[in-house]
Structure 1
Amino acid sequence: MDVTNEVMPTSAERINEMLEPGPDGPIYMVNLLKFKEHAEYEDGRETDLTGRQAYGIYGRGVSELLPEYGGKIIFVGDVTFLMLGQVEELWDEVAIAQYPNRGALVAMSSSEDWQALAVHRTAGLAGQLNIETIAPSR
């Protein structure tokens, strides 16, 4: 299995899939995050922030924005050890966010508020994987 970290979707097909309704009920987005050593802002601004610190600005803002779209942060934690499997390099952090549905995620990430925060996300991330999951029906 090849793994490619991305900061934004790179294919029109993936973007179109994101715009589909998705599963019924809540979704959980598992975020595997890899930070840049030093934040790099696209507008060229000078900064002493690390990638983790820049992403932290984004994360705090999103945690306040999520409830407006029916979402919430479920878990955030540092990656400390790979117990099973092999990967060239570990991710730095795992975050899980809950949304009422995929449409809420798309609406939030299309909002002006999210766009304003996303400059810190892009500055801080070397790449990430976003994995949509649902709770199994019991």
Structure 2
Amino acid sequence: MTAPAGIGHLEPTQSAGRLFVQRGLEGPVVMLNLLRFREVADYTAHPDLAPAAPISGAEAFDRYFRHTLPFLRVSGGDVVFLGAGGPFLIGPEGERWDRAMLVRQTSVAAFLAFASHDAYLAGLGHRAAALQDSRLLPLAELPFPT
């Protein structure tokens, strides 16, 4: 199911979260993040985190990233790739993503513990302010075919 026009995918639904856990992924999991930023960050829902002057969505995401990285690393995870995006070479014409990121976590349990950590959650408003739309695809590593 897709979101109505103009509404981005910013948080997992309850059913998507349940399906993620039910997949029974074992071992490390890599999260593919596709990120589309707002031109100007929207801190309406998180005024306590708002900077004194308006900033771009990319700048707000950088604040989220700096806040998050220490908690991610303590939980056993890390960012293995961060890259600038753009339009697809193969994919829907006109669709673009500003940034792509691969986050590796040691297990689903470690990811869930990280994602529910109170100190991490305290900075989540920077992500919400930054993003117009996003995708998060959990990936399980496969052996190379021989």
TM range (shorter): 0.7 to 0.9
Distance, in Å, in 2 between the alignment partners of 1:15 and 1:47 is: 35
Distance, in Å, in 2 between the alignment partners of 1:103 and 1:6 is: 23
CA deviations over 1:45-103 (Å, ceiling 9, x no partner): 46411011001111122222111111011000001342112244201000000001111
Residue in 1 that maps onto 2:62: 56
| Structure 2: gaps spanning 5 or more residues | none
Q: Aligned to 1:6, what secondary structure does the other structure show?
A: coil
8 Å CA contact 1:27, 1:102 repeated in 2: yes
8 Å CA contact 2:87, 2:97 repeated in 1: no
8 Å CA contact 1:55, 1:124 repeated in 2: yes
Distance, in Å, in 2 between the alignment partners of 1:43 and 1:101 is: 30
8 Å CA contact 1:39, 1:47 repeated in 2: no
C-alpha spacing 1:21/1:117, structure 2 compared with 1 (3 Å): farther
Aligned match of 2:106 in 97, 100, 103? 100
TM-score, normalised by the number of residues in structure 2: 0.83
TM-score, normalised by the number of residues in structure 1: 0.88
8 Å CA contact 1:36, 1:124 repeated in 2: yes
Aligned match of 2:75 in 69, 93, 99? 69
| Structure 1: gaps spanning 5 or more residues | none
Where in structure 2 are the equivalents of 1:2-81 lying within 5 Å? 4=3, 5-9=8-12, 11-20=13-22, 22-41=24-43, 42-44=45-47, 45=50, 47-81=53-87
The count of corresponding residues between Structure 1 and Structure 2 is 136
Percent identity between the two aligned chains: 24
Q: Aligned to 2:123, what secondary structure does the other structure show?
A: helix
